[in-house]
Amino acid sequence: MRRALELATRGPRGLNPQVGAVILGPAGEILADGWHRGAGTAHAEVDALSQLAPGAARGATAVVTLEPCNHTGRTGPCAVALLEAGIARVVYAVSDPGDASAGGAERLRAAGVDVVAGVEVDRARALIADWLAVQRLGRPLVTVKWAQSLDGRAAAADGTSKWITGPAARADVHRRRSEADAIVVGTGTLLADDPALTARRDDGSLYERQPMPVVLGQRAVPGDALVHRHPLALLHRDGENLGGESENAPSLMDELRDLGVQRVFVEGGPTIASAFLRAGLADEVLVYIAPTLIGSGTGGADRTAVRFIGVDTIAAQHRLRVTSIDRLGDDILVVAEPAPP
Ligand code: AOF
Ligand code: ZN
């Protein structure tokens, strides 16, 4: 199973889970192995079986990180492929959570195959934790991030905001960006800051993994915006009413999910951050707090980090649970998630 898990990591994150498979002979020797290379390609079991001559897997054991599927999707059911190959024993780690795809274990057992479930299940679950969450929620996981002064402002009255937090906090943001599949900003932030939306190290080099840049808002993205140099193509959507009366928030999430996005990093500035919070679309909140005070401007103008999030009375406040507190240089990072009801 550890070998199968290692093989699974060779596949890409995306619409389908990363899955590895090993076919073992009677003495436990490896006859073949395989992994899943993404939606539309062969599943791990079929990839492994395809390396064997007809009949060579008869009586063998298949070790798979995910329960063999039972459905015809982009490919046929693996449970049937294993049966047709004459596999006598199937060992797997995680059960398939899909309504359509589950049931492979039952089908194999019914056909007389010896089936063992749950082997190395913690490691296998950890490997596809984000994919499993997407299956459970029906949408990608969302992290909403903002930086603020100690008194909760994201900018001064004139809109200037560079820089509130220090280099250590910004480096932390970039590392976390590299772990997301998409990064969302509003056109307001795009026009004000011209962000590259790439994940970069201190020396300016790009992380291997880059989030897909997503810009929300009705205003046009200027032709010379830095984001056009991002290695991945820009997705620009009208998200003005995101999370309000319109259906934009859920439909953007559906669209990102269907593109294989598992983790969304919302860095969008107060309007976008507030829209996601208002829509109940924040699984994790990252607040970088700098030891500085900004207050209001001469005319009382106030640029709080978060605006209207559907709270008009204290009973409606968004109660969170703090999961970690860290010092990053002079700044503090608070990570929180919605408190269980
Ligand atoms: C397996 N082995 O290697 C994978 C499985 O649309 P399809 O045909 O590619 O099916 C995708 C679903 O199949 C996916 O959502 C998950 O439930 C399962 N993935 N199953 O037996 C594999 N990748
Ligand atoms: Zn399958």
Same domain? 123 vs 180:
no
**Which CATH number is 181's domain given?**
3.40.430.10
Q: Is 245 annotated as a binding residue?
A: no
> Measured between alpha carbons, how far is 38 from 292 in angstroms, rounded to an integer?
47
Pocket mutation for ligand 1, best pick of 69, 87, 136 (most atoms within 8 Å of C-beta): 69
Same domain? 128 vs 198:
no
**Catalytic annotation on 67?**
no
Q: Of the residues 45, 67, 120, 284, which is catalytic?
A: 45
User: Residues with Cβ < 8 Å from 215, sequence gap 6 or more?
Assistant: 184, 185, 186, 187, 190, 221, 227, 234, 235, 236, 237
Q: Is 88 annotated as a binding residue?
A: no
| Ligand 1 and 36: CB distance under 6 A | yes
Q: Is 274 annotated as a binding residue?
A: yes
Place of tokens 């063998």: 60
Which ipTM was obtained for this model? 0.89
**Which CATH number is 31's domain given?**
3.40.140.10
**Which ligand is located closest to the Cα atom of residue 21?**
1
**Which ligand is located closest to the Cα atom of residue 100?**
1
Q: Which atom of ligand 1 is nearest to the CA of 101?
A: 17
Strand ranges across the sheet with 212-216:
235-237, 212-216, 182-186, 263-266, 141-149, 284-290, 331-338, 320-328
| Ligand 1 and 176: CB distance under 6 A | no
Number of domains in the chain: 2
What are the CA-CA distances from residue 286 to residues 53, 129, 140, 336 (Å)? 53, 20, 17, 7
Q: What is the pLDDT of residue 25?
A: 97
Q: What is the pLDDT of residue 241?
A: 52
What are the CA-CA distances from residue 155 to residues 97, 160, 165, 185, 305 (Å)? 44, 6, 11, 16, 8
**Which ligand is located closest to the Cα atom of residue 17?**
1
Same domain? 70 vs 219:
no
Final residue of a structural domain among 78, 107, 133: 133
Final residue of a structural domain among 100, 133, 166: 133
Q: What is the pLDDT of residue 243?
A: 44
Q: What is the pLDDT of residue 87?
A: 98
> Measured between alpha carbons, how far is 337 from 231 in angstroms, rounded to an integer?
31
| Ligand 1 and 39: CB distance under 6 A | yes
| Ligand 1 and 42: CB distance under 6 A | no
**Residue 300, SS3 per DSSP:** coil
Same domain? 148 vs 289:
yes
State in Å: Cα 107 to ligand 1 middle: 16
| Ligand 1 and 287: CB distance under 6 A | no
Q: What is the pLDDT of residue 217?
A: 85
Q: Is 36 annotated as a binding residue?
A: no
Q: Is 319 annotated as a binding residue?
A: no
Ligand 1, atom 10: closest residue by C-alpha = 73
pTM (predicted TM-score): 0.91
State in Å: Cα 93 to ligand 1 middle: 14
Q: Which atom of ligand 1 is nearest to the CA of 67?
A: 21
Same domain? 92 vs 171:
no
Same domain? 213 vs 319:
yes
List the chain pLDDT tens, one digit each, 341 residues. 999 999 999 999 999 999 999 999 999 999 999 999 999 999 999 999 999 999 999 999 999 999 999 999 989 999 999 999 999 999 999 999 998 899 999 999 999 999 999 999 999 999 999 999 999 999 999 999 999 999 999 999 998 988 999 999 999 999 999 999 999 998 888 998 899 999 999 999 999 999 999 998 888 999 999 999 999 999 998 765 554 444 466 688 999 999 999 999 999 888 889 989 999 999 999 999 999 999 999 999 999 999 999 999 999 999 999 999 999 999 999 999 999 87
**Domain residues for 242?**
138-338
Q: What is the pLDDT of residue 169?
A: 97
Same domain? 22 vs 120:
yes
| Ligand 1 and 75: CB distance under 6 A | yes
| Ligand 1 and 44: CB distance under 6 A | yes
Q: What is the pLDDT of residue 251?
A: 81
Same domain? 180 vs 306:
yes
Same domain? 327 vs 289:
yes
Same domain? 128 vs 205:
no
Same domain? 166 vs 116:
no
